Amino acid sequence: MFNKSLVKTPMPEQNPAARARNFSEVALGYTEADAQSEAARCLRCKHKPCVAGCPVEVDIPGFVGKLAEGDPAEAYEIIRRTNALPAVCGRVCPQETQCEQKCVRGKNGVSVGIGRLERYAADWAMKNGEGASVQAAAPNGVKVAVVGSGPAGLTCAGELAGLGYEVTVFEAFHRPGGVLVYGIPEFRLPKAIVAREIEGLLARGVTLTTNCVVGRSLTLDELFAEGFRAVFIGSGAGLPTFMNIPGESLNGVYSANEFLTRVNLMRAFDETWDTPVQNAKRVAVVGGGNVAMDAARCALRLPGVETVTVVYRRGEAEMPARAEEIHHAREEGIDFKLLTNPTEVLGDDKGWVTGLACVEMELSEPDESGRRRPKPKPDSRFELPVDSVIMAIGSSPNPLIRQTTPDLPVNKWGCVVADEADGRTGKKGVYAGGDTVTGAATVILAMGAGRAAARSIHEDVLAGAI
């Protein structure tokens, strides 16, 4: 049943002109025939390099083999042994730099579409009401607190609950999911899918406490005083960075985080919700990463928006966004002003944005990141007429927890210092992982960190170290 095709089975997608104005999912998912044909491209290598490329070590040849045999239920069961959120990862993981980059099939053609197949198996299981069998250990009476319900916190909580721990997740927002619900847009990751995967995790007996900001509502030391034996910090990196240029406090300037939270978590695009978002016609998004692409594509879908321009100081080759995201943004009609840097947000006498002053840039020698350093071209200032500006130039961990936990080691960027392999921090009983340790990274790395920390907590409890 081996399929010799050198190319991936294409992913059916909504037509760009139609999808640019709606929030429905762009990628429509494989049919059964697509999945079987794509799975049949796997070479079933003995040494499985793809598994080494997956931070949660999914048995990729195992599940792909089951799909090729037409057994999606067993394929799902195999994925769920190590990945608690397969419908999420199948949609948003950067497989091209992870499992698919290691795929031997890619050496003489295009790698197997592992992410697309993972999504197919997970969606099949949801549609057919199949949950993976949960084998939880007997309760051990040990209480563990998890701060944050993003992929790091949820994975850590799910793993510990499976080992018999009494786990409580404390979440600042009113809904669990972290960036999966407030950041990544509906058209890339439908919120109903995230909710189903989270329900499955919480069904393991995890308690969820929402609207609870650790560091404000209660501190880490108060958690220990309440009888929690260990605390895992998975609070992400949600504090936005601004450029510190004049005009950034004008009405109509948003951080990408705030804009995306209004649109995704608080559904500002849906007329039946009363979440306000500015009624702009021309929007500029500053930045060249995935967050900038998501903000730009969300902005274009809002009623009344006519043009969206991405303003980025380097060229396309230097953009950190995934090639697929840039391609989708271009197809939908987003305009790109590359080698362009904002110098001032312009406003009217009532304090509303009217434009973005920019300079043209040129690239010189590479900087410490290895990318060519941009420098302004003399006398190149120009004005872009816009009525909203979204800053998507990075984010860092929120300072609340470090400010209220003076003995928790943090680095100069405000990230919690934790061993990336096992999640242990310099404070006894405290573990950390995900974006709060690494700075903004990926869903699967956060999940891998949550899993590693759960193992360390279990080891330390068994050893009597905490």
Ligand X SMILES: Cc1cc2nc3c(=O)[nH]c(=O)nc-3n(C[C@H](O)[C@H](O)[C@H](O)COP(=O)(O)OP(=O)(O)OC[C@H]3O[C@@H](n4cnc5c(N)ncnc54)[C@H](O)[C@@H]3O)c2cc1C
Dihedral over Cα of 340, 343, 348, 353: its sign: positive
Q: How far is the CB of 294 from ligand X (least distance, A)?
A: 4
Joined together, the tokens standing for residue 61 give: 């040849």
Using the contact rule CB under 6 A, the part of the chain among 62-70, 330-338, 443-451, 457-465 near ligand X is: 443-451
Q: Please provide the DSSP assignment of 73-85 as one string.
A: HHHHHHHHTT-S-
Q: What are phi and psi of 159, to 5 degrees?
A: -65, -45
Q: Is 290 in the site for ligand X (CB under 6 A)?
A: yes
215, 342, 374, 423: residue in contact with ligand X (rule CB under 6 A) = 215
- Which CB atom, from 209 or from 275, has the smaller least distance to ligand X? 209
Using the contact rule CB under 6 A, the part of the chain among 58-66, 175-183, 369-377, 417-425 near ligand X is: 175-183
Q: Is 400 in the site for ligand X (CB under 6 A)?
A: yes
- Which CB atom, from 40 or from 283, has the smaller least distance to ligand X? 283
User: How many Cα atoms occupy the beta-carbon half-sphere of 189 within 13 Å?
Assistant: 26
Q: Is 423 in the site for ligand X (CB under 6 A)?
A: no
Task: Give ∠ CA 150-56-260 in degrees, rounded to 5.
Answer: 30
Q: Is 213 in the site for ligand X (CB under 6 A)?
A: yes
- Which CB atom, from 36 or from 155, has the smaller least distance to ligand X? 155
Return the number of other C-beta atoms located less than 10 Å from residue 389's C-beta. Answer: 25
> What is the C-alpha separation between 295 and 14, in angstroms, rounded?
19
Q: Is 232 in the site for ligand X (CB under 6 A)?
A: no
- Burial class of residue 135 (count of CB atoms within 10 Å of its CB; 0-12, 13-18, 19+): exposed
Dihedral (C-alpha) 321, 153, 208, 162: value to the nearest 10 degrees? 130
- Which CB atom, from 134 or from 213, has the smaller least distance to ligand X? 213
30, 124, 170, 269: residue in contact with ligand X (rule CB under 6 A) = 170
Q: Is 265 in the site for ligand X (CB under 6 A)?
A: no
Q: Is 183 in the site for ligand X (CB under 6 A)?
A: yes
Q: Is 454 in the site for ligand X (CB under 6 A)?
A: no
- E strand intervals along 8-154: 143-147
Using the contact rule CB under 6 A, the part of the chain among 16-24, 78-86, 179-187, 269-277 near ligand X is: 179-187
Q: Is 238 in the site for ligand X (CB under 6 A)?
A: yes
291, 454, 457, 461: residue in contact with ligand X (rule CB under 6 A) = 291
Q: How far is the CB of 403 from ligand X (least distance, A)?
A: 10
The contact set with ligand X (CB under 6 A) reads: 92-94, 147-153, 170-173, 178-179, 183-184, 213-215, 234-236, 238, 260, 290-291, 294, 398, 400-401, 434-436, 440-444, 446
